[in-house]
Copies of this chain bind each other. A is one copy, B any other.
């Protein structure tokens, strides 16, 4: 029997990274590691689901970084289809329910909460009908693909009766929404995205959101703004047939919900663990739940510090989840690691349109009392004369007086999106836009104009602040 037991709740990115990292540092006789996952899959890339649905990824298992068997072969006792249903903090134990329905308590010395997030699912009539899909878990993805392929088998190619393309309606124009729009375009569907806000990508400022809107329409994706869904209309068999908004009705062969996620923290809440305004668990820099020496949390169920605003924030993103897991595992394993916070970086694409952001939007900056100047420039991703050069818009926001970079948003075509990393590092470093004007960035005609678009934006922002 091991000296200590580490219990992990949640067998995905954070949980299994924590388990793996702790196992690298501690042998089984020093540390027993038990992990509970309520689903059928471990350590998978939820972010890859849209590309699986769209056909870019053909095998479900390609999305699985490490199977339960692989974890077990590394002396991690991963129990699938086993749900943690109660947490007894004073007793240092977790009550788990097995697939068979059997329940029992498991004691822990170190506990890792990696319960992830749950999709937002408003209580609308018809929301649970057949044909309405979420795409958060691998099971969700499998159900959607099964449904789409069944339909192809029964109805022939992706055509509805009368030879028209089948119709997909995506509710929500955030990251998941736009990525799913691309997936259905690739499948040959006619796609409508319904967004209740006044722009797609509320993670961008309105002017940049407008560029995305224009580009989505150009890609043949009908994007309806100000479209608040009131009902999913079903047929006599209970199948979803149309999405109804306050103003119109959109016929649908399939409906996908992309309304974002919220932290899955019911278990933690019931156990009295500290939650922030975002609903995410509050942790210290070592990813320890605040006030609890031996309880750790990370990934989509925690809130993190935004280093630019100084405010906590909920960000559900696999890259953070993996970092958190690695940090928790290092700390439990006797090492030392911390997560200082995020700067709010995200990148996505719809077909060949690339969308990225980091730092604060104008509204976010104003909300924390910052005053700023914003500039927007248009340039190209490569030298203007180089084949494949593509447009890129860069918006840059800088604080008044100090000239400190506050945020960057990018909308462009190929090779535009990852340029956001330049600004992300500059935000981590607290650089001013004046300093950024002289950044020694990689230049050659296939890679950049002689003035990289980020430098062009920095020059304009520096002039605006002056």
Contact = CB atoms under 8 A, between A and B. Distances in A.
Interface stretch (A196-204, A217-225, A271-279, A444-452): A444-452
A152 interface: no
A387 interface: yes
Given A47-B445, A428-B439, A450 B318 contact: yes
Contact of A322 (B444, B445, B450): B450
Nearest to A335: B466
A308 B418 CA distance: 25
A63 interface: yes
A443 B317 contact: yes
Report the copy number of this chain in the oligomer.
Answer: 2
Contacts of A343: 440
Interface size class of A (residues with CB under 8 A): 35 or more
Interface string A413-425: 0010111111011
Interface string A143-169: 000000000000000000000000000
B440 A418 contact: no
A383 interface: yes
Interface in A442-466: 442-448, 450-452, 459
Contact of A318 (B318, B349, B418, B443): B443
A63 B435 CA distance: 29
Nearest to A417: B447
A54 to B, nearest CB: 10
Interface centre among A62, A175, A425, A451 (most CB of B within 10 A): A425
A421 B441 contact: yes
A210 B447 CA distance: 23
Contacts of A421: 419, 421-422, 439, 441-442, 452
Nearest to A384: B62
Nearest to A414: B415
Contact of A347 (B338, B339, B383, B442): B442
A348 interface: yes
A431 interface: yes
A385 B45 contact: yes
A322 B417 CA distance: 24
Nearest to A435: B428
A345 interface: yes
B47 A444 contact: yes
Interface string A42-56: 000101100100001
Given A45-B450, A418-B447, A425-B426, A346 B442 contact: yes
Contacts of A429: 425-426, 428-429, 431
Contacts of A57: 385-387
Nearest to A318: B450
A441 B45 contact: no
A177 interface: no
Contacts of A63: 385
A256 interface: no
Given A425-B429, A438-B340, A439-B428, A444 B349 contact: yes
Interface centre among A45, A358, A452 (most CB of B within 10 A): A45
Nearest to A445: B48
Contact of A428 (B319, B345, B440): B440
Contacts of A349: 444, 446-447
A442 B425 contact: no
B422 A422 contact: yes
A420 B438 contact: no
B440 A344 contact: yes
Interface string A275-319: 000000000000000000000000000000000000000000111
Given A317-B443, A420-B442, 13 more contacts: A45-B383, A45-B385, A45-B445, A45-B450, A57-B386, A63-B385, A319-B451, A323-B437, A348-B444, A358-B442, A418-B418, A424-B442, A428-B431
30 contacts: A13-B450, A47-B443, A48-B445, A51-B385, A57-B386, A62-B385, A63-B385, A179-B444, A318-B450, A319-B441, A319-B443, A319-B451, A319-B452, A320-B440, A322-B450, A345-B440, A345-B441, A346-B443, A347-B442, A356-B442, A415-B415, A421-B421, A421-B439, A422-B425, A424-B442, A425-B425, A425-B429, A425-B431, A428-B435, A428-B440
Query: Nearest 7 CB-CB pairs, A to B?
Result: A429-B429, A347-B442, A319-B443, A62-B385, A425-B425, A345-B440, A343-B440
